[in-house]
Amino acid sequence: MTLTKDDIREALTAVMHPSGEDIVERGCVMNIAVCDEHASVRVCMTQGEPDAPQPGREQLAKVGAVIDSCVRAAAKEKGISDLGLVVDFVDHQGEVVMKLKGDAKTGGNAGGSAPSKREGDTPQNKDATGVPGVKHIIAVGAGKGGVGKSTVAVNMAVGLARKGHSVGLLDGDIYGPSLPTMMGLGSYDQQVIDGALQPFMVHGVKCITMGKLVDTDKPLIWRGPMAHGAFNQLLERTQWGELDYLIIDLPPGTGDVPLTLAQSVQLTGAVVVCTPQKVAQDDAVRASGMFESLGVEVLGVVENMSYFIGDDGKEYDIFGRGGAQMMAQKLNHPFLGAVPINMALRSNGDNGNPSANFDPDSAGGDQLPKALGGMVDQLEAQVTLAQMSRGAGKPTLSIS
């Protein structure tokens, strides 16, 4: 199979412009060239706005990293694992203002620099450790309940697994575990071998949840230290094996479990989930502040239930579409995407079949699969940037 211009153009629809449109829809992609295992993309971020100021180098580097990640993922689907990619950012006159060169074969950040943490950020607890065999640990949190945090975490994990990654999913919501329902674990029994919890393998994801260790009809009336201990047991006593990603679905708020996680586990970063309305944004800002105060990088914000898709295909902005995206921009956080809600998403979640959300035939059309795919692509790109900032960048970006 060969990589084509159309393949690259389709991949670039997952790259968002600050206006909220993707860069293809915005008309920013000026030229695409591809030959064998080499490709180039020319992008004008101010296309159609000749008087608009040119984005700074740091912002262009971020966009370039997302472009690189998306195009490289498309190449991998065609069997090309070492794509040579050049991204030229140009002004409205066609003059190159920044050139990015990506080469998957080499490590490090050759030339240029990755975006650094903001001045004043506190580094994460130096005594925090990783989980053996796990490359990236990502916390999914929210300032309040009911915003669909578990829905995002589940679909994020399944989406990463569908892209070929080895993925684990930990249900950290000790008091209100959602995975037994959303991942279809009802008929499974928890197994313990040599003192180690054995995760359930469903939808390509290794899952563990307190919901399979306690009676489902009995409430957990535990004080903070008990919840703290239960969470640590789930994390440390589970036989995860080798994982590319471990997604941790946190309980809402800024209580014991999120604090325990941030202080004891070396996280790649956190994702904040928010619905568009103002009251959810206020709580999400507090959740974001908690992560930042603990030195955990916020990888991005997901706007869940961004809009409702009716059976007739019409979109309804029930909660005020775009609110969480504006919040992300104000906080200088990446925006990972807007996830709509429709009858299929609710049904697939209740039936424990999240994989169905990625198939247009069972997801009520192509809008939901496209939104979830874009969210996963953006997350991968932000993880790449986080790696680069720690000196372990892949792919290499040479900035000139």
Using an 8 Å Cβ cutoff, are 82 and 105 in contact?
yes
Lookup: tokens for 245: 């990603």
Helical spans, DSSP H, in 45-148: 57-77
Pairing assessment for the beta strands 396-399 and 96-103 based on DSSP bridges: antiparallel
DSSP H or E run through 9: helix 5-12
Distances (CA, A) of 134 to 9, 45, 190, 234, 245: 33, 36, 22, 15, 7
Top-level class of domain 5-103: alpha beta
Identify the pLDDT of residue 256. Answer: 65
Tokens of 84: 């040579």
Angle at 385 between CA 380 and CA 387, to 5 degrees: 95
Tens digits of residue pLDDT in 257-305 = 677 776 778 899 999 999 998 888 888 888 888 888 778 889 999 999 9
Name the residue ranges covered by the structural domains of the chain.
5-103, 134-385
Q: What is the b/e burial string over 266-287, where b = at least 16 CB atoms within 10 angstroms of the residue's CB?
A: bbbbbbbbbbbeeebbebbbeb
State the pTM of this model. Answer: 0.69
**CA distance linking residue 167 with residue 138, whole number of Å:** 11
Distance in angstroms (rounded) separating the CA atoms of residues 23 and 12? 7
Number of DSSP helices (H) and strands (E) in the chain, helices first: 10, 16
Q: Is 54 exposed, middle or buried (0-12, 13-18, 19+ CB in 10 A)?
A: middle
Instruction: Give 293's Cβ-side CA count (13 Å radius).
Output: 9
- Give me the pLDDT at residue 198, please: 94
What does each of the 400 residues of the chain score in pLDDT, given as a tens digit? 788 999 999 999 888 887 778 899 999 999 998 887 888 899 999 888 877 887 887 778 888 888 988 888 888 888 888 888 889 898 877 888 888 876 544 333 333 333 334 444 455 655 667 789 999 999 998 877 889 999 999 999 999 999 999 999 999 877 678 899 999 998 888 899 998 999 999 999 999 998 877 665 655 544 445 555 677 788 888 999 999 999 999 887 666 667 777 677 889 999 999 999 888 888 888 888 888 877 888 999 999 999 999 988 899 998 888 888 888 888 888 899 999 999 999 999 999 999 999 999 999 999 999 999 999 999 998 888 877 766 554 444 444 4
The architecture that CATH gives domain 134-385 is 3-Layer(aba) Sandwich (3.40)
Residues in CB range of 109: below 8 A, 6 or more apart: 388, 391, 393, 396, 397
Please provide the size of the chain in residues. 400
User: Over the Cα atoms of the chain, what is R_g?
Assistant: 21
pLDDT of 124 reads 61
